[in-house]
Amino acid sequence: MKKLQGVAVSDGIAIGNTRIILRPKLHIRRKSITQNQIKTEFERFESHVNNVVEEIDQLITDISQNQDNRDILSTHKMILTDPEFEASVKKLIEEELLSLEQAINKHFTAVVELFSNMENGYFAQRSSDYEDVAYRLLSKILKQGGDRFEGLEQDMILITDNITPSEVTSVFAKNIQALCTERGSKNSHSSIIARSMNLPTLVNVKDLLANIENDQKVIVDGHQGVIIVDPDRKTLAEYEPLWKQEKKDKQLLLALTDKESTTSDGHQISLMSNIELPEELDNVLKVKSNGIGLFRTEFLFMGRKELPDEEEQFAIYDKIAAKIAPEPLIIRTIDVGGDKLSEVLNLEHELNPNLGVRGIRISLKHIPIFKHQIRAILRASTRENIKIMFPMISTVREIIKVKTVINECMKELEKEDIPFDNAIQIGAMIETPSAAITSDTIAEECDFLSIGTNDLIQYTLAVDRDNMAVGDYYIPYHPSVLRLIKMTADNCQKKKISCAVCGEMASEKIFIPLLLGLGINELSVSPGRLLMVKNEIMKYDLQKIKGHTDLILQQNTCEDVYDKILKYGELDEYFE
């Protein structure tokens, strides 16, 4: 028996036999061309790209393809039809006398290497997309490759070197138990899709392929990020009950799909979904979410040489709004740090980007780019289910500035006779102590507030949540954090507007009754966690929760708070 450590992408336990499937390597001959062959290679390029684009168009319209694949294929089409791609390949052919295959390979190798070397999840996502497109195009030109997962059987545990976004949806449809890859990152496009599908997944497992053989029994622990190869009887005896219980729990949770998220004493809690990519939308619909409480738009702005124009953004927002209607779609404007957009905006390097130009500060610093996004959102708002949310608000002054920009965009659209919802609701994310403390004034300018607990904890406790050296100081239940959440919820109640939580606390069982007791009336979580959260909501009596939460707020230490949090499960006994 041996254990291999990886990065947990999507939790869950799986026990089964492995199936190793590697992507066939494409063999590209090293062959120089002559000046007379340049025109021929140009013609071959245009012909093959057009054929692959036509093939993608056919797949997109094929009703047998699910929405995840359609959106991914649309992204691939955009890459193939990018004028910069054509210019780069033709330049390599003309100036270096490379064959078409060599030129395409060299172009994509450079792009993938560039993105892979950037320690950023969004760029890793783009890297995977470009790998996928390169393989699709070259395999057609070389007449090599094919569907490597064609013979994959259900209930297997797939082991592979890496996997593309379109392949994730393909293997999920085959009902595999789990997915493990030797490469990949937690925030890649492929990982996000696996997570949204609730498929137990580990990535970046060191020496995975060197330590596993075909048809070996393994345990995949998606909670701990561990693969146990050839488990002994004792280990199997420990994991099998957990595995069976998880399978049973999943079936029980599916039975809650059509039920309302209501507490045991009849209080309705709005339960919405967070999404990062359009590909996750089908999963939102499957669990019958009350809407999308947080649509992160960063994917539109990352890993590209040119910013998205208004039309591209409008098409995406409109498509999602139409599909989720009549449920609400809350679109958050770009929320990135200065370091993440430096390639596009040519921003100066910041010593501490978390305390620098990020979130709403970037938008207000680059008004033309901000207005493109606002105009696109407003144009899509004719669906009458769109709301706009602004990240990293620290003062009411920023909201007032934002409203000025919105009014300017509305006037522009009116002059152009372009319709929009002139009653569109706006909201602020409460992620800084200053925003929470002044949430009364911010609430006066907004239609709703949403608390981003991840950053609120980080900024309140002066703890970098990605720095393991100070991991022990990142305490979600710290009294200061709870008081800021309570203050925000109380101010929203006074102004009669909704108060949501869209951070990680909203999807952790132990904190759900705590948040409800603090006055939160809306939770927004990943689609894969939504039914679990609903199940927790339905367990509790809100009046009992609030009484116990008042007691928690009186505690002085984190230890005492945590001890009282554990008592939520004993409320019937506690209140006798």
Percent residues over pLDDT 90 in the chain: 61
Confidence of residue 574 (pLDDT cuts 50, 70, 90): very low
Whether the pLDDT of residue 565 is over 70: the answer is yes
Confidence of residue 575 (pLDDT cuts 50, 70, 90): very low
Whether the pLDDT of residue 46 is over 50: the answer is yes
CATH 3.50.30.10 segments of the chain:
2-23+148-252
257 vs 150, residue with greater confidence = 257
Whether the pLDDT of residue 340 is over 90: the answer is no
Q: What is the structure's pLDDT at 174?
A: 85
Q: Cα–Cα distance between 301 and 506 in angstroms, integer?
A: 27
Q: What is the structure's pLDDT at 250?
A: 87
Q: Which of 180, 499, 502, 548 is catalytic?
A: 502
Q: Cα–Cα distance between 303 and 545 in angstroms, integer?
A: 45
Average pLDDT, the chain: 88
**Sign of the CA dihedral 139, 145, 148, 150?**
positive
Which amino acid is residue 130, in one-letter code? Y
* 260-264, 492-496, 572-576: the lowest-pLDDT one: 572-576
Active site residue 267: no
Whether the pLDDT of residue 361 is over 70: the answer is yes
Whether the pLDDT of residue 63 is over 50: the answer is no
* 93-102, 297-306, 358-367: the lowest-pLDDT one: 297-306
Q: What is the structure's pLDDT at 326?
A: 96
351 vs 48, residue with greater confidence = 48
Per-residue pLDDT averaged across 117-143, rounded?
Answer: 72
CB 180 within 8 A of CB 158: yes
CATH 1.10.274.10 segments of the chain:
35-142
Superfamily holding 255-574: Phosphoenolpyruvate-binding domains (3.20.20.60)
Give pTM, 2 decimals: 0.74
* Exposed/middle/buried for residue 383 (C-beta within 10 Å: 0-12, 13-18, 19+): middle
Q: What is the structure's pLDDT at 424?
A: 98
CA-closest candidate to residue 9, choices 173, 165, 130: 165
Q: Beta 386-393 vs 329-332: how paired, if at all?
A: parallel
Tokens of 510: 């132990």
Range with the largest mean pLDDT of 21-35, 147-161, 536-550: 536-550
Q: Which of 48, 189, 366, 478 is catalytic?
A: 189
Whether the pLDDT of residue 345 is over 80: the answer is no
Q: What is the structure's pLDDT at 422?
A: 95
Q: What is the structure's pLDDT at 573?
A: 44
Active site residue 76: no
Confidence of residue 494 (pLDDT cuts 50, 70, 90): very high
| Alpha helical stretches, state H, 62-176 | 67-80, 83-96, 100-116, 121-142, 165-172
Per-residue pLDDT averaged across 480-504, rounded?
Answer: 96
Whether the pLDDT of residue 303 is over 70: the answer is no
Range with the largest mean pLDDT of 115-124, 350-359, 432-441: 432-441
Whether the pLDDT of residue 134 is over 70: the answer is yes
What CATH architecture does domain 2-23+148-252 belong to? 3-Layer(bba) Sandwich (3.50)
Whether the pLDDT of residue 64 is over 50: the answer is no
CATH 1.10.274.10 for the 35-142 domain, yes or no? yes
Q: Cα–Cα distance between 155 and 86 in angstroms, integer?
A: 42
Whether the pLDDT of residue 342 is over 60: the answer is no
CATH 3.20.20.60 segments of the chain:
255-574
Question: In 10 A of CB 472, how many CB atoms?
Answer: 8
Q: What is the structure's pLDDT at 388?
A: 98
Confidence of residue 300 (pLDDT cuts 50, 70, 90): confident
Backbone dihedral region for residue 417 (phi beyond 0: left; psi -120 to 50: alpha; all else: beta) = left
Cα pseudo-dihedral 353, 359, 362, 363, rounded to 10: 180
Report how far apart the first and last C-alpha atoms of the chain are (Å, whole number). Answer: 50
Range with the largest mean pLDDT of 65-69, 110-114, 329-333: 329-333
